[in-house]
Structure 1
Amino acid sequence: MNIYDRIKTMSDEMAGDLTAQRRDFHKYAEPGWFEMRTSSIIARKLTELGYEVLVGDQVCKKDSRMGVPSEEKLEEQYERAVAQGADPEFVKYTKGGMTGVIGILRCGEGPTVAMRFDIDALGVFEEHDPSHRPAKEGFNSVNEGFMHACGHDGHATIGLGVAKVLMSIKDQLHGTVKLIFQPAEEGVRGAKSIVDNGHLDGVDYLIGSHVTNKKEDDPAVVIPGSYGSLATTKYDVIFHGKSAHAGGSPEVGRNVMLAVGTAILNLYAIPRHSGGVSRVNVGTVVAGSGRNVIADEAKMEIEVRGETTEINEYMKNYAVNIIESAAKMHGCTCEMKLMGAANSLTSSEALMERVKRVCEEDLHLPVAKEMSSKNGGSEDVSYMMNR
């Protein structure tokens, strides 16, 4: 049996176990920096397979993480992860949101190949209606407000399947494989901290993948590459003003409502860029304490995007200037906290061709007619690709 037939045979044999594992991850959904149970289980399974395993601050550079929840919320999630069956040996390394796992397989001289699998869920509610298959079959999320709605439960499971296959054929491999189980892809918050910890240094090839939807009767196909992913920057903005009675002494106050309103109108008035697509969005605003009180604090969540990293930088700089100027105009101050970021990306033509050839000629898998699919969103695997 050649190596490709062996891979296909093992994949078929593992199908039942992988389905069960994916449903387990789905049931105990954990969003970015909360993936404590998930990380501990991945670390345990990689260890049992014989991988060199990195966890905790060995994976992510602590100060490079973006959009990290409060210590109180992190502690609550840690306690829940333990109660829900996290591996006791490995979960302790995830305290404080130090999630993510890297498994390393060394097979002598040769290239270093990194494979990235994101593992976080989204902060959305999952349907409990019996017509929803996970609810009907008993694996819908038990963590209210968190759901694997983007397929990362599948990605984490695929990573474990790949790990088992690679270990079984290690005698036929040359070089080093790094399996990167990345936290906090949603909100593009996690990849940079892995890059900043040096894990992409010396990597010759990087493979990242994503499942997508298809109609039930349509055949599954492999799309070798991706393009069009927008660079993005995301901020939480806090405006500070001065409270006063709106009827008795309005002139004493410094109204953050005016600062926020000025900022919003002008953010949407940023001139478009001739070099490509650009986006701006104000997603949330929370402000005010009463009808007759000049508001003294407001929180605004915004993002900008660009077809290229340069266009995103243009949008970001314009947005920062508008926000700071709007605050100053109305006698207020502001602070901006970076919550997420990603660069634009385009897959390697040479690597796409290689994937296509192996899929078609060796694994006999169907490949899409178009070699690359457009991703109109943003993906922080771009930090790894552009390393």
Structure 2
Amino acid sequence: MTTTLLKQTLNPVADKMIHWRRDFHKFAESGWVEFRTSTLVAEELDRLGYRLALGRDVINAESRMGVPSEEVLLKNEQRALEQGAIEKWMPYFSGGFTGLVATLETGRPGPTVGIRVDMDALDLQESHECSHRPAEQGFQSVNHNMTHACGHDGHTSIGLGVAHLLMANKTQLSGRIKLIFQPAEEGTRGAKSMADAGVVDDVDYFMAIHLGVGVPNGEVVCGNDTFLATTKFNVDFHGYPAHAGGNPELGKNALLAAAQATLGLHSISRHSEGASRINVGVIDAGTGRNVIAQHAHLKVESRGETNQINQYMFDRSKDIIAGAAAMYDVSYYIDIVGAAYRSIPSPSWVQFIADKAKQLGCFEKVVDRQMDGAAGSEDATYMMERVKEKGGEATYIIFGTELSAGHHNDKFDFQEDVMTNAALLLSVVTASVKDYTKEHQKD
């Protein structure tokens, strides 16, 4: 009966999700500056009757990683207001505390379900070519070097769609539902601060989602197990400048230390127990051709198929960086700006979701668990691990869709009808979780 009722309320919500998605896409905001996005989400959820926890109440300040400067935050706050951010909500999010949690108390006993969606865009300039649908249809990003090229505009819209469906059917629900809107997923920066703030400590069953990620259109993967653990870090080397021709012996060359570290990092032995990665993506050093470089900056990431393998890669990285600094007699500083775990989905919870997906009949193929193709990383794994540590169950769901270009591409776009099926499945699973609890207890 609950599934039928949810389907009956789906059509008007489907239209709303497209409207929200295109609005978020047009006013894309990257990590920790999702001011306009957060205020609009808060306004919609408040209007629906959800209990809201905002900003510092759901984000641990000490756990934030890769936060922009105060100047950048203030500039983006002002721009958000100019672009339609709702002023009454801005004080909650000021300073880059742009997360929120909406709770639905059904008034009937039952478990707590948590659903996490992310809201941030990428630091990327969107394509202006007329063949790019957002440009052709007028919802291309107006914000310089900020683009929803990973589908998070769709994720946020799905979260709002689920909020509508669940509230419309509140009398059929039991327990508690927490909708978690997370900032700064790109660079794996935001989830740890929300997990450390305790937002999932009371969650019994957890779901995080993504669109695309190599899954064909019409398919759904109910338990993605391909993410790698990762550590994102910056390295700053500090030396001493000198004239390269006149008195080079007085200089301490930060550029050479950075170059030596780069070569050493890419020479780290791979691990025999699983996939491992290391990459120096940026090296920035020097002021002139005849100056011994005083400063150098690296942007680096390590990854591992397990948390232990990633830790091995990061520990070796620290040793190599220290050695390069010692070789050229310069100082250095390592700043961790992002991180994510490897988290394995809970098997029985995955199976329950897969069974519901098959019963809905709206997916061409239902994959219980995807284990091949490890490559990327995702910081929702922090929340997954926290839920499991507290005795709950967690999974990561991927909804396949046709893409115009790959993720993080300036021509990225997706088929918007995928949001309808995603919102429906998440709502049906949430509405049916009491049945799962009963089945699980029998086991």
TM-score by length of 2: 0.84
> Where do 1:1-387 residues align within 5 Å?
2-107=1-106, 108-212=108-212, 220-361=218-359, 363-366=360-363, 368=365, 370-373=367-370, 374=372, 375-387=374-386
1:370 and 1:86 mapped to 2: Cα distance?
Answer: 39
What is the Cα-based RMSD across aligned positions, in Å?
Answer: 1.4
Structure 2: how far apart are the matches of 1:281 and 1:344?
18
Structure 2 SS opposite 1:314: helix
How many pairs were matched up? 383
In 2, are the aligned partners of 1:360 and 1:367 still within 8 Å (CA)?
no
Deviation, structure 1 residue 369: 5.0
**How many percent identity over aligned positions?**
46
| Closer, same or farther: CA 369–157 of 1 in aligned 2, 3 Å | closer
Q: 2:219·2:366 contact (CA, 8 Å) conserved in 1?
A: no
Shift of 1:368: 2.7
Aligned mates of 1:369, 1:308 — CA distance in 2: 26
Asked if the contact 2:358/2:366 (under 8 Å) is kept, the reply is: no
Local SS of the residue matching 1:179: strand
Q: Tell me how far apart the structure 1 counterparts of residues 308 and 225 of structure 2 sit (CA, whole Å).
A: 16
* Inter-partner Cα distance in structure 2 for 1:290 and 1:115: 51
Q: What amino acid sits opposite 1:372 in the alignment?
A: R
Letter in 1 for 2:376: G
CA distance in 2 between counterparts of 1:320 and 1:41 reads 42
Change (3 A) 1:352 1:313: same
Paired with 1:130 and 1:383, the residues of 2 have a C-alpha distance of 39
Return closer, same or farther for 1:351/1:367 CA change in 2, 3 Å cut-off: farther
Amino acid in structure 2 at the alignment position of 1:55: L
Counterpart CA distance in 1 for 2:241 and 2:287 is 10
- CA 1:213–1:132 in structure 2 vs 1: closer, same or farther (change >3 Å)? farther
> Are the equivalent residues in 2 in contact too, given 1:223–1:367 (CA < 8 A)?
no
Secondary structure (helix, strand or coil) at the match of 1:386 reads helix
Please tell me whether the aligned partners of residues 261 and 321 of structure 2 are also in contact (alpha carbons under 8 angstroms). yes
Letter in 1 for 2:316: Y
In structure 1, the partner of 2:391 is: none
- Tell which deviates more after alignment, 346-355 or 178-187: 346-355
Q: Which has the higher contact order (CA 8 A, sep 6+)?
A: 2
| CA displacement, residues 12-46 of structure 1 (integer Å, 9 cap, x when unaligned) | 22221211111000000001001000000000000
Q: Following the alignment from structure 1 to structure 2, what is the Cα–Cα distance between the partners of residues 368 and 188?
A: 29
Whole-angstrom CA distance in 1 between matches of 2:213 and 2:226 = 19
How far off its partner does 1:219 sit? 5.2
3-state SS of 2:94 partner: helix
* 1:221 Cα deviation after fit: 2.3
Aligned residue type for 1:279: R
Q: Which moved more, 1:348-357 or 1:275-284?
A: 348-357
What are the superposed Cα offsets for residues 176-233 of structure 1, whole Å, 9 maximum, x if unpaired? 1110000000000000000110111121110011111789xx7522221101200000
Gap change, CA 1:73 and 1:309, over 3 Å in 2: same
Kindly provide the amino acid, as one letter, of the partner of residue 141 in structure 1.
S
CA distance in 2, matches of 1:251, 1:46: 64
Query: What code does the residue aligned with 1:243 have?
Result: P
Q: Give the residue type in structure 2 aligned to 1:45.
A: E
* Distance of 1:98 and 1:195 partners within structure 2: 14
Hey, what's the Cα distance between the residues in 1 that align with 2:333 and 2:381?
27
Q: Which stretches of structure 1, 4 residues or longer, exceed 6 Å deviation after superposition?
A: none
Distance across 2 between alignment mates of 1:176 and 1:260: 51
More displaced stretch, 373-382 vs 285-294: 373-382
Structure 1 regions of 5+ residues with no counterpart? none
Q: Equivalent residue of 2:201, what SS?
A: coil
Is the contact between residue 357 and residue 366 of structure 2 (CA under 8 Å) also seen in structure 1? no
Which amino acid is 2:332 matched to? C
Cα deviations by residue, 1:301-328 (Å, 9 ceiling, x for unpaired): 0010000000000000000111011101
* Residue aligned with 1:171, SS: helix
Aligned partner of residue 280 in structure 1, secondary structure:
strand
Q: Structure 1, residues 63-109: CA drift from partner, whole Å, max 9, x if none?
A: 11100001000000000000000011112221111101110011232
Contact 2:239 2:253 survives alignment (8 Å):
yes
SS at match of 1:248: coil
- Farther off after superposition, 366-375 or 91-100: 366-375
The TM-score normalised by the length of structure 1 is 0.96
Query: Conserved in 2, the CA contact under 8 Å of 1:359 and 1:367?
Result: no
